[in-house]
Each structure stands twice: as C-alpha cells, then as structure tokens.
A = this chain, B = another copy of it.
C-alpha cells in the first residue's frame, strides 16, 4: 500500500513546526523564519520529496498559473512556422515565470460553448493569448471593452477595444522603401496582403506607399495587387503586375509566401530575380534563405513577439492581483534585499521574484532588413 503524496502537514509534523511555517518558507515570505528552522524544513521537504499541489495552491488565489494559447481553426494550425515561432516564445517566457501553457482551438464548438469565457470563469486558465485572430472571430466582440485578460497577438481590430501586441509593420515598410529607393528603383509595385481585412496588412501597404511618396516616388492604385498572403494568389498578383507594367524594376511582397509566388511568376515570364527584377519579401521564413536566389526580406521576430505577448499578460495579471498589496510587495522586496545571500530552496520550484522584463514601450516588436540576393542595384 503505497502511501499517497505527502502534504504540507506531513512536512510540518516531521519538521516539528506548523504548516504555516512550511508555507512561509516555500513562498519565500521567510523574513520571520530563523535560518535554523528554514534549513530543517527544507531538508524534510527534500527527504519526503514534497511538492506542493498546484490545485491546492491555486484555490485560495483562484489562479491556475496557466495561460491559454488560442489558435484559429485552420487545418493544421500547429504545422505552421509562423505559429510555431510565436508559441515557442510564449512557452519559454511562461516557463521562466513558472506558468504553464494550454492549447485551445477556436473552432465551432469552442465558440458555441463560450469556452473562451468559461475557461477563465472556471479558473482553468488565468489569461488568453489569441494567435491568428481575424475579424471573422465575431465572438471577440463579447470581450471588447471588458477587462478580461485577453491579448490579441499580431493583429488589431479598430472596431473593438481589445489589447493587442504587434510587430513593427510600419517600420518594415519604411526599411524596404528606403532600401529599394537607395538601390535606384523608381518603378515599384507591391503585392499586398488581404486588403481591408487584415489590419497589419493595410498598415504595411500604407506605410510603404507613404514612405515612397516622401522620396518622391508615387505608387498608383493599380501598382498594388492583393495576393491574399498565399503562394498561388501571390504568383497571380505578381504576374498581373508584370504584365500590365513591364517597366517595373522591383516588387515588394507583404509576406514571404507571396514573394515565393512572385519568384515563380517572374520565372514563368522570363524575368530573372536578382538580375533584371528585384523582389523583397516580409517574414524571413526559413524558405526565404533557401530560395533561389536567396531572398532579401524583412525579419519579423515572431519568437520575440511571443515573449513580449506573454510578458505583457503576466504583467497584467500581476497588476490585477496586487490591488491592495503593492506597498507590501515593495516592502518585502526591500526587506528581503540585504538578507538575500541565503541558500535557495531546493526541490521546490521558486519563481524569479520580480519579472524585471524590459518591454518594448509601445508594444511594437522591432524588425530588421535582411539583405540577400533578390534585389538588384541600379546605381551607376
């Protein structure tokens, strides 16, 4: 008869102290515990292999220390490098702060059962991070304006009041516009993402047009064609562009997939990318580096986006909790500061005390231009 997991009372009894004392030690609120007692208790914890129950720990605070990642119901959403990178970033940062990650898929049953509300209400989860949200996700409206812990990752909905975090698309557009202009290009087209549907796609398009205008280069309407963020449509968009405007020297594509499509279109029409036609992508997927010729593109750091999204959520949750005890926390930090040279608790996980993360101020993840060989210089 294997006895079941030890409880905090077992540890207390074996150490000759009260459960309160053990709890204080575990939670590092140990200004009041003598180091003799502390080390005795820690030894017992180690000996009994005691691990505090997450369920019981969460019960008083009503917190499961878990964040949900919501993915759209695309076939094989997991099998996408874009989501993959963001998830990695979220996971890593969450793990560092002793949070766990659960997965949700925004499919019909998810919406019908209002699971996005229920998992918060039933304490399954402390916060929601929504990846790949579009305005077709009408249920977001229900969360608009409320203070539910929800963050939209890499999109924004002007019509709803929701917290979002985005890559710096305007900067991406400016980098590309400046680069193409500096290389001497004056006849430039663009294959854009789904216009009037994805906020960031429009942001990129508008910033690109505006920046070129600042350089005195005008982009007329018919030089911007929708490529729907995908290879096939991107190819058709680029083909149309090259057919109607044969004197185009460069095309900026709103993402790498469409740029790959543009490569195909160019090849089919006898143009040589990197020689007599310049193409710039946006994303820097692995495929961009292995394309022929290697693609000049903008690196959007999706891993960092995930980290930042998670950090922001954790900060929100931290603030929500410390309504009345902000002062106390400050005091505790001050008090714990000098006497900090103590041994750390061994087998019991102790989270880093304060997040201390430097967040990008306006919530924009920085981008940078990656110059490879798909852009020709027309200078001299």
Please list the residues of chain A having a beta carbon within 8 angstroms of any beta carbon in chain B. Answer: 4-5, 49, 51-56, 58-59, 62, 64, 66, 76-85, 87-88, 91, 95, 100-103, 105, 109, 113, 118, 121-124, 349
Contact = CB atoms under 8 A, between A and B. Distances in A.
A97 B64 CA distance: 20
Contacts of A121: 5, 49, 51
B59 A53 contact: yes
Given A103-B101, A103-B103, A54 B84 contact: no
Nearest to A125: B100
Given A5-B62, A78-B88, A81-B79, A102 B105 contact: no
A82 to B, nearest CB: 8
Copies in the assembly, this chain:
2
B78 A87 contact: yes
A123 B88 CA distance: 24
Given A53-B62, A79-B80, A79-B83, A124 B100 contact: yes
A100 B105 CA distance: 11
Given A79-B80, A100-B124, A103-B101, A59 B56 contact: yes
Most B Cβ at <10 Å: residue of A78, A83, A88 = A78
A149 to B, nearest CB: 14
The 3 A-B residue pairs with the shortest CB-CB distance in the complex, in nearest-first order: A79-B84, A78-B84, A79-B81
Contacts of A58: 55
A122 B83 contact: no
A33 to B, nearest CB: 22
Nearest to A53: B123
Given A54-B124, A79-B81, 7 more contacts: A4-B62, A54-B64, A55-B55, A55-B56, A78-B88, A79-B83, A79-B84
Contacts of A4: 62
A324 to B, nearest CB: 13
Contacts of A49: 121
A78 B303 CA distance: 12
Contacts of A113: 349
